[in-house]
Amino acid sequence: MKIQAALLLEPNGRFVIEALDLQEPQAGEVLVKLAATGVCHSDWHVATGTTKHPLPCVAGHEGAGVVVAVGRGVTRVKEGDHVVLSWTPDCGECHYCQQGRPNLCETFTSPIWNGVMLDGTPRLSWNGQPVYHYCGTACFAQYTVVPQQSCVPVRRDVPLKVASLVGCAVATGVGAVLYTADVRPAQSVAVYGAGGIGLNIIQAAKLAGAHPIIAVDRTDAKLKIARQFGATHGALPDDALETIRSLTSGRGAEHVFEAVGRPSVQEVALEAVAAGGTLTLVGLAPMNTSTNLSGAAIVRQEKTVRGSYYGTVNPRRDFPMFLDWYAEGRLALDALVTREYRLEQINEAYSAMLTGEVGRGVIIFDD
């Protein structure tokens, strides 16, 4: 079938809208009609080449839509299901899945990073040449074919525009607090970066009963929206360390989250961690970068540094639960969507993101 998609031809930071060919789903695969997909910085890393990925490709990894068709042997979903797409599909059988860590599933690691399905081939093509699927989801398109393991069926009474955000920003931010870091009531939290993921870290910290919750960002607009999501205080970067220590009796925060993905911010964030506290790195740093963290401080002050990949979530368990929490008023997801775009406006959407647009931009597809 012919579809419209945002294609990345080379690492120059520009998407082009093209008509691509999409094959029908093969065994164990699902055809999904996209309703909405979020504008996330991780895709920008692919566009600029700081994340290495086979090109040409269709990026987009934070999407939701409706199942249109299923391939042979599909049992997890059926036609008409509303689904949120997971960019960490899990086989249920490998070492990590058996250890209860499906976000680290080994089976899908290689095909996803190679932009192909489990059989080693993509389902997309352009002028007879293969086009690769970023994160196995390729959400910047009207339709996508994905492994059934990437499809998480969800309740139909939640708008798919909202549900799409669960596929990355919500899962990554909320999971980092509740699962990776295991924040407890009355513990102090500081969050570096109040973008889409940072806002979800903040609202999860509130849900966990943390206090104080200190947001750190470069813009007053983002600090303002951070308070709407539960931040008790805000600070610009130059004032952040002093503010965090003044609010924690000079010790620093028991939990510090870095949601920017920048080594220089990661290094500063470690300074804000109290002795015995934890720094959780959530932001995705460009490949081939390194972070200079003080080994002396980590040892002498018993600081812990942890990575959080996809919030340590179990998508099949957690995506429906997060949307239940949204329906119950426990998670504020509507306010995350601050601007809507059409697919042909994708370059405009990324320009707005890079200039500090608050919240999350979302690409909406035709009905």
pLDDT given at position 367: 65
Q: In CATH terms, is domain 2-168+312-364 a member of 3.90.180.10?
A: yes
Whole-number pLDDT of residue 40: 92
Percent of the chain with pLDDT over 70: 100
pLDDT value of residue 366: 79
Q: Using pLDDT thresholds of 50, 70 and 90, give the confidence band for residue 289.
A: confident
pLDDT at position 285 is 85
Per-domain residue ranges for the chain? 2-168+312-364, 182-307
Q: What would the pLDDT profile of 126-137 be if each residue is shown by its tens digit?
A: 999 999 999 999
The confidence score (pLDDT) of residue 356 equals 83
Q: What value, to the nearest 5°, has the Cα angle with vertex 355 and ends 352 and 360?
A: 50
SS3 per residue for 107-162: CCHHHHHCCCCCCCCCCEEECCEEEEEHHHCCCCECEEEEEHHHEEECCCCCCHHH
Does the pLDDT of residue 51 top 70, yes or no?
A: yes
Candidates 138, 156, 15, 9; CA nearest to 78 is: 156
What pLDDT is recorded for position 248? Answer: 98
Mean pLDDT computed over every residue of the chain: 95
For the cut 70, the answer to whether the pLDDT of residue 270 exceeds it is yes
Span 230-234, average pLDDT: 98
Q: How many CA atoms lie within 13 A of 267 on its CB side?
A: 9
Residue 18: what pLDDT? 97
Active-site annotation, residues: 40, 42, 45, 61, 168
Amino acid at 168: C
Taking only the tens place, the pLDDT of each residue in 170-206 is 999 999 999 999 999 999 999 999 999 999 999 999 9
Distance CA 309, CA 180 (A): 9
What pLDDT is stored for residue 272 in this prediction? Answer: 97
What's the pLDDT tens digit per position in 75-102?
999 999 999 999 999 999 999 999 999 9
Which amino acid, 77? V
CATH code given to domain 182-307 = 3.40.50.720
Per the CB < 8 A criterion, the answer to whether 267 and 293 are in contact is: yes
- Does residue 83 or residue 41 have the better pLDDT? 83
Average confidence (pLDDT) over 58-62? 97
State the Cα angle at 313 between 312 and 319, rounded to 5°: 160
Supply the pLDDT for residue 287.
Answer: 82
